[in-house]
Amino acid sequence: MALIVQKYGGTSVADVDRIKIVANKVKNEIEKGNQVVVILSAMSGVTNSLVKFCNDITTFYDNREYDAVVATGEQVTIGLLAIALQNMGIKARSYAGWQVPIITDNAFGKARIKEIKPDNLLKSLENGEVPIIAGFQGIEIESGRVATLGRGGSDTSAVAVAAAINADCCDIFTDVEGVYTTDPRIVKVAKKLEKITFEEILEMASLGAKVLQTRSVELAMKYKVKLRVLSSFVDAPGTLICSEDEIVEKEVISGITYNKDEAKFTLVNIDDVPGVSANIFKVMSNAGINVDMIVQSVSSGTKTNMTFTVPDSEFEKAKKAIEANKDLLNYESFLFDRKVVKVSIVGIGMKSHSGVAETMFRALAEKNINIMAISTSEIKISVLIADEYTELALRVLHTAFGLDKEISEKE
């Protein structure tokens, strides 16, 4: 008998019919003799509508009230799944975040889970009930108010619950079959990965692949929760996310990701002295903006050019900060380019393989794709290129690193 945490995303509970399918999946596990705890998202689209209501009044809202509003979507689906399970003869009980309770800090709108009291859930399990928990939310004890965990927070709820009740595994059901070598909508020959390490999925998530909320992976890594991503639409094994030592045959590259939320600035003719790049970081960080890549051109005497990237969603704020700090940065002019994309290759095997960067750069060069900036970590290499090359770059890199799946005649 295993204790399984299952999390179902918005598309998996999009309507009453989908909720009945989820109930069937839960029932299957129960009939195998397992205990199940379910975490749910809101019906797909509902949270967006709730967010829009708030924004239609003002974008300067009190996050505590925003949380009160947007946390309601999950409270609908948990009740409905409980009804659907009971209707199949399975005992079930819904729990809003405050009923568990899932205790958060007071960073309303993007709160972090401080503690989950497992007693109510364990009592439910003892009574033979399936506890069904609203994802994405908790309670801030001092104020007694509902706090949400930020978009995608239900993944984090699921992992945190799995850790709190010491579950055997945490299955994240979604509308894709698992984690792919790259976006299968762009690269038809993208393969589903059987396994991937926590470190790799963290890099992929932060680089733009929308598989799991980053914090959920960090939590799973910290508490050694066995995490799987799989489809609620297709009966297939999905992708296991595990620690490095559980993967015997390591691929050099596990995945290729891209992120279009990038904007590039170039400060022209700034002083070529130590401390200029520090100034750029300072100006941006004062404006609450993270600088990602940064490149200094070869100097022409005492002046140089400095290129750096920020999230395109922060473009206007970044532009204002640059304009407001002309004296400090001491540039002659500045340029920007919002039609750029960051393409990254990620792989734990990179640590023990040389020549990975060379393979990447040569593959892009052969297609005349110009690299504007580069950044690297131990397990990834990112390049900034013109966004019109996104699809071409993904395909050529996918082939270059031997990731293409074999297409059988049937397909």
Binding site for its own copies (CB under 8 A): 16, 19-20, 50, 53-54, 56-58, 60-62, 64-69, 71-73, 75-76, 78-80, 82-84, 86-87, 93-94, 96, 98-99, 144-146
Which residue is listed with tokens 């999390």?
7
Supply the minimum distance, in Å, between the C-beta of residue 103 and its own copies.
Answer: 15
Supply the minimum distance, in Å, between the C-beta of residue 277 and its own copies.
Answer: 40
List of long-range contacts for 294-301, beta carbons under 8 Å, 24+ apart: 294/373, 295/372, 295/373, 295/374, 299/272, 301/272
CB nearer its own copies, residue 100 or residue 373: 100
CB nearer its own copies, residue 49 or residue 377: 49
Supply the minimum distance, in Å, between the C-beta of residue 353 and its own copies.
Answer: 52
Q: Which residues contact 32 (CB under 8 A, 6 or more apart)?
A: none
CB nearer its own copies, residue 153 or residue 255: 153
Supply the minimum distance, in Å, between the C-beta of residue 106 and its own copies.
Answer: 15
| Rounded Cα gap, residues 124 and 104, in angstroms | 22
CB nearer its own copies, residue 98 or residue 389: 98
Q: Are 390 and 375 in contact (CB under 8 A)?
A: no
Supply the minimum distance, in Å, between the C-beta of residue 325 and its own copies.
Answer: 31
> If we measure between CA atoms, which residue out of 126, 26, 45 comes closest to residue 83?
26
- Please calculate the CA angle 411-232-5 and round it to the nearest 5 degrees: 140
Supply the minimum distance, in Å, between the C-beta of residue 333 and its own copies.
Answer: 39
CB nearer its own copies, residue 23 or residue 396: 23
CB nearer its own copies, residue 20 or residue 317: 20
* Burial status of residue 385 (CB atoms within 10 A of its CB: 0-12, 13-18, 19 or more): buried
CB nearer its own copies, residue 84 or residue 167: 84
| Rounded Cα gap, residues 296 and 299, in angstroms | 8
Supply the minimum distance, in Å, between the C-beta of residue 345 and its own copies.
Answer: 43
| Rounded Cα gap, residues 25 and 22, in angstroms | 5
Pairing of strands 130-134, 92-95: parallel
Supply the minimum distance, in Å, between the C-beta of residue 16 and its own copies.
Answer: 4
3-state secondary structure of 265: strand
Residue 101: cis peptide before it, omega within 30 degrees of 0: yes
Supply the minimum distance, in Å, between the C-beta of residue 83 and its own copies.
Answer: 5
CB nearer its own copies, residue 64 or residue 250: 64
- Please calculate the CA angle 131-132-134 and round it to the nearest 5 degrees: 135
| Rounded Cα gap, residues 111 and 126, in angstroms | 30
CB nearer its own copies, residue 97 or residue 255: 97
| Rounded Cα gap, residues 185 and 50, in angstroms | 29
